[in-house]
Structure 1
Amino acid sequence: MRLAFLLYKYFPYGGMQRDFRRFVEECQQRGHTIRVYFIRWQGEPLSGVDARQVPAKGLSNYHRNERYLHWVQADLARDPVDGVVGFNKMPGLDVYYAADSCYLDKALNERGWLYRLTPRFRHFAAYERAVFAADAATEILLISDTEKAKFLRHYHTPEARLHMLPPGISADRRAGPDAAQRRRAKRAELGLAEGEQMLLFVGSGFIKKGLGRAIRALDALRRRGLPAQLYIVGQDKEAGFRRQVAKLGVGGQVHFLGGRDDVPDLLLAADALVHPALDEAAGIVLLEALVAGLPVVVTDVCGYAHHIAAANAGRVLPSPFVQGALERALEEVLAAEENQRCRAAALDYAGREDLYSMHRTGAELIEQLLPAKTGDSGG
């Protein structure tokens, strides 16, 4: 089949973007011809795809999104494909990969009524409704039971259009026989002394993923006489958080690493992953930590937090969030005996659960669903 994959922006360190790349590669391996539409691309290009950059500009995100969609629709009318697979919510998709959380739920529960009168709200609500409405036609690939419940509550989407995928951890995230050696090497590279505690925060989207909470927790540990180092991996605006670090006086303990390609080794080097997110549809880094044998402290709003609870490999913080609970949880999982227990539990869970087959399963579903829509199984 000829497939068009739609994504507004690509950069190599986002979870959704990494899934986008792996879905494209999986579909290519299965013999399909891939066209990609994007506004901005950062990082290595995809091999063997028809890459079409969309000249969509605007003073606001929603104006840019609308211009992107109009351009893509016109291009597809001139040069049709057998199916359109979207990674952002918009009208006209045959299949949507639901990496983002439910916009309407957030707008109703986290914003005031004035926000819901804005053009921005009308745009994003309409684009989400075009995918999830009961009378829409888009097939939806889901990754979170938590978000599925929200979509069902707000849109009454028929269950037959909702397809739950298993997680899709890359094999290079798994702890191998050289894990101890790689841990020592990375800790030496980072300048960590023997026995010094390393907290790891991974995520592009610092506000949403709770970096401010993590920095405050680090400061609390320091004041309790439990110094640790916090390493921050991700591509986002740092200035406000650097000011927070300076105000708290923990500049010597907080390290902004930017986007990185060595996350597997950082996961092995760390003593705990801290992920106190305010909102997170899934949180693939939680599972990457599990398969690396790294204890996790996470909020229950994350779609994949239930895996941490099922594995008993850390702490899942209940809502509403309490800063002191995060600090106590970190203190507990950093204690030597509990840390080792969590590590063993994580590796045991990673060995017996399917945390790896998302992209193969999703590609199979795309193959099954699209011929039924197009009435043509060729391509």
Structure 2
Amino acid sequence: MKIALIRKKYTPFGGAERYIDALIGQLLDLGHEVHIFANEWQIVNAERKAQNGKLFFHDVPMIKGLSVLKVLSFALNARRLVKKERFDVIHSFERTLYQDIYRAGDGCHKEWLIQRAKYEPLWKTILVRMNPLHWAFLWIEKRLFAPENTKIVIANSRRGKEEIIKHYHFPEERIQVIYNGVNTSRFNPANREKYRSAVRMELGLFDSDRVILFLGSGFERKGLSFALEMLAGLSDSRIKLVVAGKDNPQKYRKLANQFGIKDRVIFIGPTKEPEKLYAAADVFFLPTIYEPFSNACLEAMASGVPVVTTRVNGASEWIREGIDGYVIDDLGDMSSCRSKLAQCLGQISCKAADTRRFQLSWQEHVEAVKSIYDGVFCIRAGG
């Protein structure tokens, strides 16, 4: 099949990006021709470079400057360019205007606005709602979830499916829940022995330190301020927080200083090798305000690292309480949150690494996506 994939940035940073790269690898291995429509791309995977004969990139222009113009210009230009060629399947990973399949990896923007309003002052909520960028997202989202514009929506959690139905009344039978998979050859408990000591030494951490890992780009939505506040309430100075991800840390450095924990927080920026950080960590903590499905949570569990995250994270549907970690229902209940973190740090040790279920998950995931592609191919061929 000749397959078009739409993504603004194809880079090595981020859980979504690692997911897309792994899917592309599977499609190429199966002999499909893959075309990536992106505004920015960077191939660092040696295997992907070797497969370049059937992997093609198309530059989607995007107006620089205002974010609202970037969003609208990418959606409009992606539609224009994809229509120039005939594809068997058009699969979008962005909010766009022309696709057969939309993977709702970024969730539902209308729901995100509702969730963030719970944790911000009223004046900020009003300013956010007046921002043209959010109008643009909602304008595109309304058209994206119109049944005549998209054949199939892939949601990565049951919660995500329910949000789309609630806000846009998209036909339930045309939304398929396919949980994300994880590459267990890359993310597994054996990494602990290979990398743990060296990575801790590099970060200036001692063997006796208890390390909480926060990994994710977009610190506000991922809940870094909550992570810092919770760390401040854990008096043991051996408990350290390692923060990795793409965002400006300045605001959060100041917050750590205000909480009196600046010496217990290590900011390292984006990483191309998250598996090494999981190996160095004792618990993975993601107190996100809204998260359709955190790939990093699966990666951590597959690596044998217990996870503490919020109920609004679709990945929480995978967590077996007391085995893989714990789920937070209310970020406002700091006492309960700290208790769950402390339990992970003190009791759970590598119980999360039932890698067989993650391996099965990835195989099932790829088969499910292929099945959707086959269905779209038949519809197009019949049309």
Whether 2:146 is the aligned partner of 1:133: answer yes
- Cα deviation code 1:289-308 (max 9, x no counterpart): 11111122211111011222
Contact conserved, 2:189 with 2:279, CA < 8 A, in 1?
no
Q: 1:113 to 1:259 in 2, by over 3 A?
A: closer
Contact 1:200/1:273 (8 A) holds in 2: yes
Say if 2:7 is the partner of 1:34.
Answer: no
Q: What do residues 178-230 of structure 1 show as CA deviations (whole Å, max 9, x unaligned)?
A: 64353334333433223221111111111111111112222221xx2453121
Conserved 8 A contact 2:97-2:149: no
| Change beyond 3 A, Cα 1:19–1:362 | farther
**Shift of the alpha carbon at 1:109?**
5.5
The gaps in structure 2 that reach 5 residues or longer are 118-124
Matched-pair contact (CA < 8 Å) for 1:168–1:359:
yes
CA distance in structure 2 between the aligned counterparts of 1:251 and 1:107, rounded to whole angstroms = 31
Q: Deviations over 1:280-336 (max 9, x none)?
A: 11011111111111122211111011222356322211135323322222222222x
Matches of 1:175 and 1:67 in 2, distance apart?
A: 40
Q: Give the drift of 1:86.
A: 0.4
Distance 2:209 2:114 in 1: 44
Distance in 2 between residues matched to 1:68 and 1:290, nearest whole Å: 35
Distance 1:43 1:258, change over 3 A: farther
What is the SS of the residue equivalent to 2:57?
Answer: strand
Taking structure 1 as the reference length, what is the TM-score of the superposition? 0.88
Q: Alignment partner for residue 355 of structure 1, among 361, 366, 369?
A: 361
- The answer to whether residue 379 in structure 2 is matched with residue 367 in structure 1 is no
Q: Which piece of structure 1 moves more, 80-89 or 359-368?
A: 359-368
Verify: 1:339 aligned to 2:348, yes or no: yes
Does 25-34 or 119-128 show the bigger shift? 119-128
What residue is the counterpart of 1:44 in the other structure?
Answer: 44
Per-residue Cα deviation, 1:51-94 (whole angstroms, up to 9, x for no partner): 11122114322322322233333333433322211001221111
The answer to whether residue 74 in structure 2 is matched with residue 68 in structure 1 is yes
Q: Which residue matches 1:215?
A: 228
For residues 1-379 of structure 1, the aligned pairs below 5 Å read 1-42=1-42, 44=44, 47=49, 48=52, 49-108=55-114, 110-111=116-117, 112=125, 116=129, 119-177=132-190, 179-221=192-234, 224-309=235-320, 312-319=323-330, 321-335=332-346, 338-340=347-349, 343-344=350-351, 346-348=352-354, 350-352=355-357, 354-357=360-363, 360-375=366-381
Q: What 5-or-longer segments of structure 1 have no aligned partner?
A: none
2:99 and 2:84 map into 1 onto residues whose CA distance is 17
Q: Which amino acid aligns with 1:274?
A: F
- TM-score, structure 2 as length reference: 0.87
2:78 is matched by which residue type in structure 1? V
Check the 8 A contact 1:12/1:42 in 2, yes or no. Answer: yes
Letter in 2 for 1:351: R
Q: Which runs of 4+ in 1 moved over 4 A?
A: 108-118
Q: Which amino acid aligns with 1:316?
A: V
Contact (CA 8 Å) 1:168, 1:357: kept in 2 or not? yes
Q: How many residues align?
A: 369
Cα RMSD for the two superposed structures: 2.5
**What is the identity, as a one-letter code, of the residue corresponding to 2:374?**
Q
| Identical amino acids, percent of aligned pairs | 25
Q: Mark the CA change 1:11 to 1:311 in structure 2 (over 3 Å): closer, same or farther.
A: farther
Amino acid aligned to 2:106 = D
How far apart, in 1, do the equivalents of 2:364 and 2:44 lie? 22
Equivalents in 2 of 1:228, 1:5: separation in Å?
42
Deviates more, 1:53-62 or 1:3-12: 53-62
Shift of 1:134: 4.2
What CA deviation, in whole Å up to 9, does each residue of 1:34-63 have, x standing for no partner? Answer: 211111234538542221112211432232
Question: How much does 1:261 deviate?
Answer: 2.7
